[in-house]
Amino acid sequence: DINIFRFAKKNIPLPLDSNFADKPMNIEKEMLPKHLAIIMDGNGRWAKQQGKQRIFGHEKGAKIVREIIQEASQLGIPYLTLYAFSTENWNRPKLEVEALMHLLSRYLQKEVAIMQKNNIRLNAIGDLESLPSKVRKELYKAMEQTKDNTSTTVSLALAYGGQQELLQMTQQLARKVQQGLLTPEQITPQEIQKALYTQEIPPVDLLIRTSGECRISNFLLWQIAYAELYFTDVLWPDFTPEQLHKALLNYQNRERRFGKTSEQL
Ligand code: IPE
Ligand code: IPE
Ligand code: MG
């Protein structure tokens, strides 16, 4: 429960106020994650609860994406990465995959104007070549149009798989070694980072997963090495800016030791 947390740094007890997490002013701006990643899960179950088709949940989910992007950028989070479609999601029923791709293409068409207004840069990570060409074109267009924006960089993980990303990184580096551009000893964490989809994006500080599942599902395997993990039972279509504040407050009350002792910090 949020009320039992204390501000780690200042040792101030949080007020016993159930609406406490609703107030973004309680979030310390200097202690925000640089990189927030979210596994947006639970659209299907949400729709089922309403007695509707799964796609209805995906549509509501897309509206939540807009709200959370806006909130993250207003709070001042520089990097936000959203898991929207995994390599494994290709194995869903053909109709659902088609509906998701259609939704994505509509979302991109609509969203660019809003992103421009909010100074948001759109990025995408994943095996983008495997996406339908219409979606890919919309995506590249949106990325091109927003490339000079400077508030939050939003990376959509599309046809993304962490193992697939590590595989293509390994192949890239192996080719460089084969061509004599790199020796095996010159393969450093920095070289690996440069060969990932996330290149210049810093490591994940906070990873949120909605819908109660406590697993990573092949998301950002290299980049979450020292991320704080936050799991909530809230289904993605019910996730609100207040839920985000709650996760951020929880994050700010953790001690990130990176292998050191508490006393060393
Ligand atoms: C997440 O919601 C969206 C995608 C994976 C595309 P789900 O569709 O996985 O919803 P649940 O997990 O079945 O409820
Ligand atoms: C993970 O959700 C992928 C996305 C949120 C896009 P899934 O619903 O596909 O994950 P699993 O299969 O339950 O682990
Ligand atoms: Mg799911």
Kindly report, residue by residue over 161-196, the tens digit of the pLDDT. 999 999 999 999 999 999 999 999 999 999 999 999
Query: What is the per-residue pLDDT for 26?
Result: 85
In this structure, what token pair is assigned to residue 240? 């609100």
Query: What is the per-residue pLDDT for 11?
Result: 47
Distance from chain centroid for Cα 69: 10
Question: Which atom of ligand 1 sits closest to the CA of residue 48?
Answer: 14
List C-alpha distances in Å: 135 to 27, 28, 101, 209: 37, 38, 7, 25
Q: Could you tell me the distance, in angstroms and rounded to a whole number, from the CA of residue 29 to the centre of ligand 1? A: 31
CA distance 106 to 104: 5
By most ligand atoms within 8 Å of CB, the mutation choice from 86, 160, 213, 236 for ligand 2 is: 86
Q: Write out pLDDT tens, residues 229-253.
A: 999 999 999 999 999 999 999 999 9
